Structure 1
Amino acid sequence: MDEMPPFQRARRPEQRELRRQEILDAAESLLAELPAEEISLRELARRLDVSKTHVVRYFESREGVFLELLNRMRRSWLDAVEWPTDPDQVMPVLADSLAARPILCQLWSMLPTVLERNVSVETVRAYKLVDLEHRTELANQIADRVPALSADDALLLTEHIVVGLVGLWPFSRPTPTVVEATRDDPRLARARVDFPARYGELLRVMLAGMTTRDSRTATP
């Protein structure tokens, strides 16, 4: 691929893709430093040393950038998971592997309330098709290691995995006020959320319920 000066107007498809990846790299870097709500297209443009107009050529909105980054980071996570052979360890390993990727968890937790807003129908459809592809792959990985789980239920389980993360992740990142209010009161111990432990517990319960249901259905 030809070398290009920083943010020269991209004309060929491979050049446009390079520019898109540079924007996603900048967004990921900013998310490691700032809360997502403080990152705008203007902030992204400043990080890239270009005008906001340059960024809009490749993404329609900040949410569009984050949706694409979510897909990219989920792909990277799926490629990196080291799946156990013990069925009882599948859910804890999944929970720990996600907890090790806080930017991915942050983006995923924002999906229904932030990322699927201020974007076009085409952008949402494109995101959801990639999401389905990734969840199908995840379902296959789980079903291969948990024989008691049907393929259909494995895919359904991936929906619950996402819903559980969306609900639990924000509670594991409390405000300073919440931290102070719950720090020394033993009655509020469960209000202090250890994400990998609590999420692993939630996923184990989900999996146990689905496999138990399947075994009861299979019983004559």
Structure 2
Amino acid sequence: MVGALAEKRIVPLRARRDEDKEARRRELLDAARALFEATSFAEVKMADVAARTGLAKGTVFLYFPTKEALFLALLDDLLTAWFAKLNGRLAQDGTWTGHQLARSVAESLEGEETFTRLLALAQTVLEQNVTVAQARAFKERVLVAMGTTSALLQARLPFLTPETAGQLIRCVHALVTGLRQMADIAPVAREVLTLPHMAPLRVDFRAELTAAITTLLRGLEAR
């Protein structure tokens, strides 16, 4: 009887502790995001994240052993949310044109500058200073998300196969990464590009992405 009562007391306490840990983890991710949006990855320090949350720097490292691990976790959250948004669009019934799908993908990235900026840092920065376990957990979730989206892409564009749908997702990743880097330019370069003859170097992220995906899909359909 006493043992049963003790167990009932322990379970809620553990649940509360788990909730507290998740709440603190979320607080750290939110702080990292706010700092990143205000500056850049290179300028954000773990001490800044600690100060913004009112936590000791050592506490931050208990949750995320490196800055890269912290931002990879943030990217994980943002990537999951974007896949869910895109899947919601792709869940509409009917066969689409390639241009319609390309436009839908580009529109799903509107307001997602933080996500696309971090995505551009994934391979070259964020995955360079994390553990194998952290990298694998991230890649596993990406793989699952890709499978769901691949099936929806095939439903909208019947000429896609499982292989070409996966190829399309990887190419979209490459296009988003490249175009985001080209669109996010330094203030001095932005001033230079206002010159009339520099127009060919200006990048409209949404328009360029839509055109590139449309062209890619035409090539896949012609195979």
TM-score by length of 1: 0.85
Q: Which one of the candidate residues 42, 45, 51 is aligned to 1:40? A: 45
Partner of 2:188: 177
| Alpha-carbon distance in 2 for matches of 1:116, 1:11 | 32
Write the deviation string for residues 67-111 of structure 1: whole angstroms up to 9, x where unpaired: 111111122122223336533311111112113210000110111
Equivalent in 81, 96, 102 of residue 113 of structure 2: 102
Q: Give distance in 2, aligned partners of 1:174 and 1:38.
A: 16
Residue 16 of structure 1, CA deviation:
2.4
Matches within 5 A, 1:8-157: 12-81=17-86, 82-83=89-90, 85=94, 86-87=96-97, 88-157=99-168
Any idea what SS the aligned residue of 1:113 has? coil
One-letter identity of the residue aligned with 2:28: I
How far has the Cα of 1:38 moved from its partner? Answer: 1.3
For 1:65 and 1:54, locate their aligned partners in 2 and report how far apart those are by CA, in whole Å.
13
| 1:205 is aligned to 2:211 | no
Q: Distance in 2 between matches of 1:113 and 1:99?
A: 24
Name the structure 2 match of 1:218.
none
Opposite residue 159 of structure 1, the aligned amino acid is: R
Amino acid at match of 1:33: A
Following TM superposition, by how much is the alpha carbon of 1:11 offset from its aligned partner in structure 2, in angstroms?
8.7
Q: Distance in 2 between matches of 1:93 and 1:47?
A: 36
Measure, in 1, the Cα distance between the counterparts of 2:18 and 2:33.
Answer: 23
Candidates 202, 208, 211, aligned match of 1:192: 202
Give CA deviations for 1:93-132 in whole Å, capped at 9, x if unaligned.
1112113210000110111211111111111111111111
Aligned residues: 203
Instruction: Specify every segment of 5 or more residues in structure 1 that has no aligned partner in the other structure, as ranges.
Output: 1-9, 214-220
Sequence identity percentage: 30
Query: How high is the TM-score relative to the length of structure 2?
Result: 0.84
Give the match's secondary structure for 2:70: helix
Indicate conservation of the 8 Å contact 1:99/1:105, yes or no.
no
Q: Does structure 2 conserve the Cα–Cα contact (< 8 Å) formed by 1:20 and 1:58? A: yes
Q: 2:188, 2:195 → 1: CA distance?
A: 13
Q: 1:111 to 1:11 in 2, by over 3 A?
A: same
Aligned to 1:3: none
In structure 2, the gaps of 5 or more residues are 1-14
